[in-house]
């Protein structure tokens, strides 16, 4: 993308068209990566082994934590870069991107080491039982311990590319890895490896695809650094200003905590659901995969919106910033309501995609499917509220409001969602536990909208709106 094209995208292109240009490639990559994450569960489900499905459910929480670490310097660094470009500080933006790149490498290696050293107690804490521990370890060794660096680095690189206008290139990198994973999954699981090694095969396919995605992302970052406000040169790290580093952490830390707390909530969900048995745990694992479809689309909309909001917030074009926020909100709520209707109507066939009833322990599979159908119909009610939470958080990140982002994350998960898990689980068992999501997200959304209203009021008082 040429500099003039970038200026047009951020400054003059009609808002719906600008959001589409940034969001559509991001949505595509989100969906492809969602599909390849689903493919692991889909192919493992073909074995009819509910314990393998439960193991991947437990292990996947550790993989999802990599998103939190990529957000730390991807969203933190990326939003800072976008704001700096908006204020004409392209040279300093290069230094921030280089700082973010090398800090990402350090934190990814530290996470790999931590999980490698304490894997068994961590998996037990997440709800792994004697029946699922071996499978869970196979997945974690490859996808998390060996795979954290390429996974986190590729996601962080996509954020940086997107925030300087290279959304399509970021999408190609993430999508390409997802497509490769979908091709490798059945090859490793059912052709090259023996029976009983399906989880290992799925993990190996994921590792290889993430490495391929990372290699592409490194190539693109190096290529666009010649014509954009990005850099991965270590020499540029030494020139980064303290105030700019603070800007990275002001947004990045709350963003990482937001994602991390979501994963902590899933840890509690898995642990509480495991009390109701491995089959209930396997069922909620399937549901969490299915319900990520509207979430992936809505996160893509928000990630496409963020650079435009950040740029115009910094440049002072508040009318365009508000129009971008409002347009993205309409799109996301529309997607959420449509998905709610579809999940209610097609819960059973959607769930059956992920677990065979013609192989393995058929009785256990049928019980698992029964749980999952009920869970998805309850949890999908949260979809529009989840979008409002994502949307508000990304808006505050774009405006550099780290405190608001952090406050929202803490209240959403620790004040509402997790306490509702314990309360509703005690009141109504596993169905009550499933109900905690829509109740918690609705309360979180109300709080989020209040925070955004206060933030916009501050902008107006400061002459920004």
- Output the CA–CA distances (angstroms, integers) from residue 373 to 60, 147, 376, in the order listed: 21, 33, 5
Is 47 a residue whose pLDDT tops 60? yes
Cα Rg of the chain, angstroms: 21
Q: What is the mean pLDDT of residues 426-450?
A: 93
- C-alpha 392/C-alpha 383 separation (Å) is 14
Residue 172 has pLDDT above 60, yes or no: yes
According to DSSP, residue 400 is labeled T
Tens-place pLDDT, residues 254-311: 878 877 887 788 888 888 988 888 888 888 888 887 888 888 888 889 988 888 888 8
- Mean per-residue pLDDT for 374-390? 92
Tokens of 103: 């800090």
- Cα–Cα dist 110/101, whole Å: 15
Q: Has residue 150 got a pLDDT over 80?
A: yes
| Residue 358: per-residue pLDDT | 64
| CB distance 53 to 287 below 8 Å | no
Q: Where are the alpha helices (DSSP H) in 225-361?
A: 242-274, 278-290, 292-315, 318-345, 347-352
pLDDT digits (tens, 9 = 90+) for 101-144: 999 999 999 999 999 999 999 888 877 778 888 888 988 999 89
Position 395 pLDDT exceeds 60 = yes
What is the predicted pLDDT for the residue at 463? 55
Q: What is the pLDDT of residue 185?
A: 80
> What is the Cα–Cα distance from 139 to 221, expressed in whole angstroms?
29
Q: How sure is the predictor about 253, in pLDDT bands with cuts at 50, 70 and 90?
A: confident
What average pLDDT does the chain have?
85
Whether 66 contacts 78, CB under 8 Å: no
């Amino acid at each position: 993308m040429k500099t003039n094209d970038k200026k047009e995208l951020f400054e003059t292109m009609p808002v719906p068209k600008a959001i589409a240009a940034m969001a559509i490639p991001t949505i595509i990559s989100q969906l492809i990566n969602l599909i390849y994450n689903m493919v692991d569960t889909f192919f493992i489900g073909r074995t009819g082994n509910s314990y393998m499905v439960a193991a991947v459910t437990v292990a996947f929480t550790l993989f999802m934590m990599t998103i939190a670490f990529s957000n730390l310097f991807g969203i933190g660094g990326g939003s800072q870069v976008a704001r700096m470009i908006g204020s004409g500080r392209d040279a300093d933006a290069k230094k921030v991107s280089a700082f973010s790149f090398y800090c990402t490498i350090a934190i990814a290696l530290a996470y790999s080491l931590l999980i490698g050293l304490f894997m068994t107690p961590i998996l037990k804490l997440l709800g792994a039982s004697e029946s699922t521990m071996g499978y869970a370890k196979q997945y974690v060794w490859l996808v998390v311990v060996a795979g954290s660096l390429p996974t986190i680095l590729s996601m962080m690189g996509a954020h940086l590319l997107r925030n300087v206008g290279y959304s399509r290139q970021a999408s190609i990198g993430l999508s390409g890895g997802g497509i490769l994973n979908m091709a490798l999954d059945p090859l490793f699981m059912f052709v090259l490896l023996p029976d009983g090694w399906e989880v290992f095969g799925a993990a190996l396919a994921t590792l290889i695809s993430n490495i391929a995605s990372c290699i592409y992302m490194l190539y693109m970052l190096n290529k666009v650094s010649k014509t954009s406000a990005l850099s991965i040169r270590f020499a540029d790290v030494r020139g980064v200003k303290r105030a700019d580093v603070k800007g990275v952490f002001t947004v990045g830390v709350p963003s990482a905590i937001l994602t991390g707390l979501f994963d902590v909530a899933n840890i509690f969900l898995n642990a509480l659901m495991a009390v109701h048995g491995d089959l209930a745990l396997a069922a909620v694992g399937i549901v969490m995969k299915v319900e990520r479809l509207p979430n992936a689309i809505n996160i893509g909309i928000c990630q496409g919106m963020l650079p435009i909001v950040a740029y115009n917030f910094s440049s002072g074009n508040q009318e365009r910033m508000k129009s971008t926020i409002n347009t993205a909100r309409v799109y996301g709520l529309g997607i959420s309501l449509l998905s709610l209707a579809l999940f209610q109507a097609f819960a059973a066939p959607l769930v059956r995609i992920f677990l065979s009833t013609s192989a393995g322990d058929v009785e256990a599979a049928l019980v698992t499917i029964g749980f999952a159908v009920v869970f998805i119909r309850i949890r999908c009610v949260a979809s529009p509220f989840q979008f409002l939470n994502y949307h508000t958080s990304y808006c505050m990140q774009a405006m550099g409001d780290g405190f608001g982002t952090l406050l929202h994350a803490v209240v959403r998960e620790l004040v509402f969602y997790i306490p509702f898990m314990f309360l509703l689980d005690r009141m109504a068992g596993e169905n009550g536990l499933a109900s905690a999501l829509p109740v918690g997200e609705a309360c979180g959304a109300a709080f989020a909208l209040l925070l955004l209203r206060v933030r916009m009021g501050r902008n107006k008082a400061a002459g920004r709106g």
